[in-house]
Amino acid sequence: MTAEWSGTRDTPRHAARGTRHAARGTRHTEPTMQRLPGLDPDQTDEPTQRVLAAQATKWGAPLLNHLLYARRPSIFRGARAMWAGLDASGLLDPRLAALVNRRVAALNGCHF
């Protein structure tokens, strides 16, 4: 599939379809915030606390999306299983996964 360009130099139309800023052909620049509060890590089960503690050790704080997933343990386990499966498969180089995460974050207006 070839990209259909929206008129800006680096934003293909199909990449950010459905976002408010993509329709105007501009980048999202105002700060964003999570609309739902995340869960306090101390109010989670032991396996979830271990994951959040590891994130805090690695990045200085638990990742906001994981605090949100932790509100529903089945969703949290599903998201973690997806990443564990990708890591275990060896199909996606960890450096490439990091680049993909940053690109998706940028397209979503997330300040990764």
- Give the model confidence (pLDDT) of 95-107 as tens digits: 898 888 888 878 8
What is the pTM (predicted TM-score) of this model?
0.57
Annotated domain spans of the chain: 62-112
For the four alpha carbons of 25, 29, 34 and 40, in that order, the dihedral sign comes to positive
Cβ–Cβ under 8 Å, residues 49 and 42: yes
pLDDT digit string (tens) for 13-46? 444 444 444 444 445 555 556 677 778 888 899 9
Looking at the chain, how many residues does it have? 112
